[in-house]
Structure 1
Amino acid sequence: MTTAAQTSFAALLRLMRYARGFRRRIVLASICSVMNKLFDVMPEILIGIAIDVVVRQKASFVAELGIADPKWQLALLGGLTLVVWVFESLFEYLYLILWRNLAQDLQHAMRVDAYEHVQRLDLTYFEDRSTGNLVTILNDDVNQLERFLDGGANNLIQVATTVLAVGAVFFSVSPQIALIAFTPIPLIVVGAFYFQRRAQPLYAEVRERVGSLGARLSANVSGITTIKSFATEDFEAERIRQDSNAYLEANRKAIAISSAFIPVIRMAILAGFVATFLLGGWMTLNGTLHVGAYGVLVFLTQRLLWPLTNLAETVDLYERAMASSRRILDLIETPVSIRNTAGANALDKVDGRIEFRKVDFAYGDDAPVLHDINLTIDAGNTVAFVGQTGSGKSTLIKLLLRFYTAASGEILIDGQRIDSVSLDSLRRRVGFVSQDVFLFQGTIRENIAYGSPDATFEAVRAAAESAEATEFIDRLPQGYDTVVGERGQKLSGGQRQRLSIARALLKNPPVLILDEATSAVDNDTEAAIQRSLQRISHSRTTIVIAHRLSTIVRADCIYVMDKGRIAESGRHTELLAMNGIYAALWAVQTGQAA
């Protein structure tokens, strides 16, 4: 077996292991395919027997079964033909229903499983991968597998059934003709493996190219505002054209291989058919073969060989499906390093005391981002982290939410290590408002209630009031039923930010994290957000990562980060008195220093 064939066979075994819950249905569908093909070849046999009856009459094969009258023999064959066609149609209906429903259910299961697994993957997985390529795997690759199961799997089973069933008839009637008729089959099989070896890397490239094209399209649609603002429509159109041309060329190479395979098969089939036609005819003329048997062999030769012309198309579907299956299963089998530990407890009642003890962290093999972080945040306090970009502020939050795992040290909530509690319960106890606000396609009410789907309208409105969002919501034509557009594009940055705060407040979390929540808003919006923060920070632990220092002057403690370390800490007035990093930042922002 060639390396390409081994690769495809390995992908098929992986797919079968994944689909073990569907095995009963696969077996049942396969049985229906086999039965349909067995009944499908019977009419040719009955035609040959009918010719034998007409020619030999009382000496025919049927007469040997005890029916002497040729008319009754034909009547029997007519009844059998009717029965055969009924059962052939029945099993065709069954295998179509079974295979198509199996294709739908299996592709549904793979898409959902792959997506659910993607959600569990660590954030490090997404750092070097494009969203568009992932979407291509979840959508187009899954559809490729569905196409194969929808028709290709049945074709392979029926070709194998035809070879075995017709071969049994041939060798029982005339072994000599059978050997000649079956001579083209090894050539066809060798050609199929040759095609498979040539096509396998080509289809792998096709899947990669379509993934790259999908990534480019996804990124460009998301960044359409930037494209328009820089007037780079022609430039981006050319890049899409280049990616599309690369996909087109990869497909063209694969098509060239599959198209060349079909004429080779047809010539081999023609040779087998002519050999059976001539040799069988000579044997019949010589009296060594009955005319009815000759008719059966001629008809069955076509039934045996002509379906093999579709083998190239079927193998084409198979190779595309296996290339896609490898990508899907590779995604599903990607290991998850951040998961619930054995015996993880649910984080139930939370006061909100947070501790970092000797925490170090680095992204992959990069230089360390955090060094020996030690701090304690008392329950109910409001603390802030400030510092230059890249100083490690947001990384602290990602570690607290267990988006990443600290290289050393430990993080505790109410005295419990966060890696000893379930991820779900940890993140449900923490409200997170990111500087990069993401709103989902839907209404304002649906976005505020995201994560709290059972919330009443009164609760949604109360959260909006706490975030000072009701003023602009009530001015909208549909109010809370206003559709925000993709990523909230119909709203301003400040409006999206306030909806994000309302969404976090609706959870009523004991710990609230605000990651530069006012970094991209105007002064009036900042003032509104500040007022809401002052109200909502009572009775909960609030962590603020601030770019504008004016928003955190009332914090119980401000930590100044510098190169991954805590350089200063204290209240606003205390830090100003130190005349250090914080005082310098304050002076720059208030215009006291250049």
Structure 2
Amino acid sequence: MGRVRLGAFYSVLNKLFDLAPPLLIGTAVAIVVEKEDSFVAKLGIEDPARQLTWLAVVTAVIWVAESIFEFLQKIVWRNLAQSVQHELRLDAYRHVQGLEMAFFEDEDTGQLMSVMNDDVNQLERFLDGGANSLIQLLTTVLAIGGIFFWLSPAVAWVAFLPMPFIIWGSILYQRKLQDRYKSVRTAVGELNADLAGNLGGIATIKSYAREEGEAERISARSDAYRTSNRAAITLSSAFSPLIRMFILAGFTATLLIGGNLALEGQLDAGSFSVLVFMTQRLLWPLTGLGETLDLYQRAMASTTRILDLVDRPSKIVGGSTVLGTDAVAGKLEMQGVVFAYPGHAPLFDGLDLTFPARSTTAIVGATGSGKSSITKLLLRFYDPGDGQVSIDGHDLRDLELRSLRRSIGLVSQDVFLFHGTIAANIAYARPDASEADIRQAAAAAELDDWIDTLPDGLQTIVGERGQKLSGGQRQRVSIARAVLKDPPILILDEATSAVDNETEAAIQRSMEHIAEDRTTIVIAHRLSTIRNADKILVLDKGRVVESGQHEELIAAGGLYAQLWAVQTGERPQEVEART
């Protein structure tokens, strides 16, 4: 608030000095016409020439002061606008980061980008100039009103007669603009959403030769945005011309009434000059009120969207217990877990699972059986509707979220790499890691030989989402990232589902190395990658239908044996004979 008060103070002084020239003109006219009887002569300067010299000095001082305070108010308001923009965007981003994963699955990324970027910028634009304009307009009305009633109350009421109509018109326009700018903000959000989605899916668009179709779809969105803007522009553009009609009435009345008073000797020439100039200074800035209100309504529509986002509560709230990574044994349990995605039938209905500490447990099953949903529950991306998920006996809902997730490393089939270097992506969980530690993690993921062939080595740029790397290379960078994090619990979610056999073998060796002496959960589609797991859980429609080691499950001839036969072509009897 201190900067707001300082900016307002500079704005008021800037406008007061800006209003001084009409007074100086009136004083100059009085000196020339009245000479020794002028207002300045009453201050003790009787010689007209000396009066003009004194007036010139005062003029110079006023102009310099006006320029200084204009500079100061712009510095304060613009820096304040930048600070508010920065803090509001950061607050919105921090809040969004804390929302549950379901929010991101329901919301469009483009809409979120529109709120955190374009809407925040709209507020910055208003603070950059609109706030100062409103303060200076109020200062103008009060200052000139005082001067008018001091010089000639009979003329003052005529000059101020248009003001109620202008204020009424401003309020009316404000209400009408409000709804139109809400439509504009919604339309631009939808346009940004489609643009972001298309740029992210450009490979799919090209592969299906859908460039023209997508261009037409973006054109339709852009045209909807243009139409929404056109409706708001039509209304806001009509404001200033209508205000000018009221200004014309006020200025003409001042000219006629004040002129007649001067002709009758009831008003001196200098005062009449001041009134004529001041009427213009009073009413003409009101033409800019339309633009200021336009900025204000855009800012308010944007602010509403920002606050709606910031006020949205997170459905996943961390507890107070801090889980020390060094103290984690790594035993995970799911007891009586009931879970369903919003709008879907229950996936788990009383699921019981145990993942022993410092052992490797594999989860297999058909698509949709619930394998990846277990990962989301263990990381507390979602909470169960009933039952409990725990780590070392602690209910996950009692744990501080960051300490929980620092204890778990995730290597997913959908690898996300940030635009930057290989080194920065490997060290994502430990930004302060040394180059030696990064190279050691890369070696564990069997990346070191490949990195040594690159001209820039670890400093090679991977591109957005790692697009400059192959699928296998991205997966190994992800494994190296988990190795460097060194969590007591490691989850490998379909980590080899999208790579070739050679890369799969390399990744398998890496996983066996990093799984030592930690709790490891391997979610796999390729059964060959989990043959050596301490325990294999077979899921079907959200239930564990089989449990055991590879040979036991093959011998049982159940669902696991059927999946194995489909993938390898071997019958269970053949496997038993070889083992």
TM-score normalised by structure 2 residue count: 0.96
Shift of 1:342: 4.1
Mapped partners of 2:544, 2:451: distance in 1: 40
Shift of 1:240: 1.0
Shift of 1:229: 0.6
Could you tell me whether the CA contact under 8 Å between 1:348 and 1:425 is conserved in 2?
no
Query: 1:19 maps to which residue?
Result: none
- What secondary structure sits across from 1:297 in the alignment? helix
Shift of 1:392: 1.3
- What secondary structure sits across from 1:559 in the alignment? strand
* Counterpart code for 2:107: R
**Once the two structures are superposed, what CA deviation does each residue of 1:224-247 show, in whole Å capped at 9, x if it has no partner?**
111111011110111111111111
Alignment partner of 1:233 is 2:211: yes
Alignment partner of 1:397 is 2:375: yes
Identity over the aligned pairs, expressed in percent? 58
Alignment equivalent of 2:430, drawn from 445, 452, 457: 452
Alignment partner of 1:585 is 2:563: yes
Q: How many residues align?
A: 571
Deviates more, 1:346-355 or 1:301-310: 346-355
Alignment equivalent of 1:506, drawn from 484, 492, 509: 484
Mapped partners of 1:497, 1:356: distance in 2: 28
Shift of 1:277: 0.8
* Counterpart code for 2:437: A
- What secondary structure sits across from 2:288 in the alignment? helix
**Once the two structures are superposed, what CA deviation does each residue of 1:517-551 show, in whole Å capped at 9, x if it has no partner?**
01111111111111111121111111011111111
Mapped partners of 2:276, 2:336: distance in 1: 84
TM-score normalised by structure 1 residue count: 0.93
- What secondary structure sits across from 1:368 in the alignment? coil
Alignment partner of 1:136 is 2:108: no
Alignment partner of 1:528 is 2:510: no
Could you tell me whether the CA contact under 8 Å between 1:346 and 1:421 is conserved in 2?
no
* Counterpart code for 1:261: F
Query: 1:33 maps to which residue?
Result: 11
Could you tell me whether the CA contact under 8 Å between 2:325 and 2:488 is conserved in 1?
no
Aligned 1:37-52 pairs, distance under 5 A? 37-52=15-30
- What secondary structure sits across from 2:36 in the alignment? helix
Shift of 1:365: 4.2
- What secondary structure sits across from 1:542 in the alignment? strand
Mapped partners of 2:436, 2:270: distance in 1: 85
Shift of 1:348: 4.5
Mapped partners of 2:167, 2:324: distance in 1: 58
Mapped partners of 1:452, 1:39: distance in 2: 57
* Counterpart code for 1:285: L
Shift of 1:345: 5.3
Query: 1:156 maps to which residue?
Result: 134
Alignment partner of 1:546 is 2:524: yes
Mapped partners of 2:309, 2:435: distance in 1: 39
Aligned 1:261-300 pairs, distance under 5 A? 261-300=239-278
Could you tell me whether the CA contact under 8 Å between 2:320 and 2:400 is conserved in 1?
no
Shift of 1:61: 2.7
Shift of 1:401: 0.8
Query: 2:515 maps to which residue?
Result: 537
* Counterpart code for 1:55: V
Query: 1:303 maps to which residue?
Result: 281
Shift of 1:353: 1.3
**Once the two structures are superposed, what CA deviation does each residue of 1:19-38 show, in whole Å capped at 9, x if it has no partner?**
xxxx1101110110011101
* Counterpart code for 1:408: D
Mapped partners of 1:544, 1:151: distance in 2: 57
Could you tell me whether the CA contact under 8 Å between 1:354 and 1:414 is conserved in 2?
yes
Deviates more, 1:279-288 or 1:474-483: 474-483
- The gaps in structure 1 that reach 5 residues or longer are 1-22
- Against the structure 1 CA distance between its residues 535 and 346, is the aligned structure 2 distance closer, same or farther, given a 3 Å change threshold? closer
Could you tell me whether the CA contact under 8 Å between 2:493 and 2:523 is conserved in 1?
yes
Alignment equivalent of 2:147, drawn from 169, 186, 189: 169
Mapped partners of 2:533, 2:292: distance in 1: 68
Query: 2:388 maps to which residue?
Result: 410
Mapped partners of 2:417, 2:110: distance in 1: 19
Alignment partner of 1:96 is 2:62: no
Deviates more, 1:44-53 or 1:373-382: 44-53
Aligned 1:332-411 pairs, distance under 5 A? 332-342=310-320, 344=322, 346=324, 348-411=326-389
Shift of 1:347: 5.0
**Once the two structures are superposed, what CA deviation does each residue of 1:400-436 show, in whole Å capped at 9, x if it has no partner?**
1111112122222222222222111111111101110
Deviates more, 1:43-52 or 1:524-533: 43-52
Mapped partners of 1:367, 1:60: distance in 2: 91
Alignment equivalent of 2:401, drawn from 408, 423, 434: 423
Query: 1:56 maps to which residue?
Result: 34
Shift of 1:155: 0.7
Could you tell me whether the CA contact under 8 Å between 1:37 and 1:88 is conserved in 2?
yes
Shift of 1:153: 1.0
Mapped partners of 1:345, 1:441: distance in 2: 31
Could you tell me whether the CA contact under 8 Å between 1:347 and 1:422 is conserved in 2?
no
Question: What is the RMSD of the two structures over their aligned residues, measured on CA atoms?
Answer: 1.5
Alignment equivalent of 2:536, drawn from 555, 558, 574: 558
Could you tell me whether the CA contact under 8 Å between 1:345 and 1:420 is conserved in 2?
no
- What secondary structure sits across from 1:431 in the alignment? strand
Could you tell me whether the CA contact under 8 Å between 1:347 and 1:421 is conserved in 2?
no
Query: 2:574 maps to which residue?
Result: none
Query: 1:442 maps to which residue?
Result: 420
* Counterpart code for 1:141: D
Shift of 1:174: 1.6
Query: 2:179 maps to which residue?
Result: 201
- Against the structure 1 CA distance between its residues 346 and 69, is the aligned structure 2 distance closer, same or farther, given a 3 Å change threshold? farther
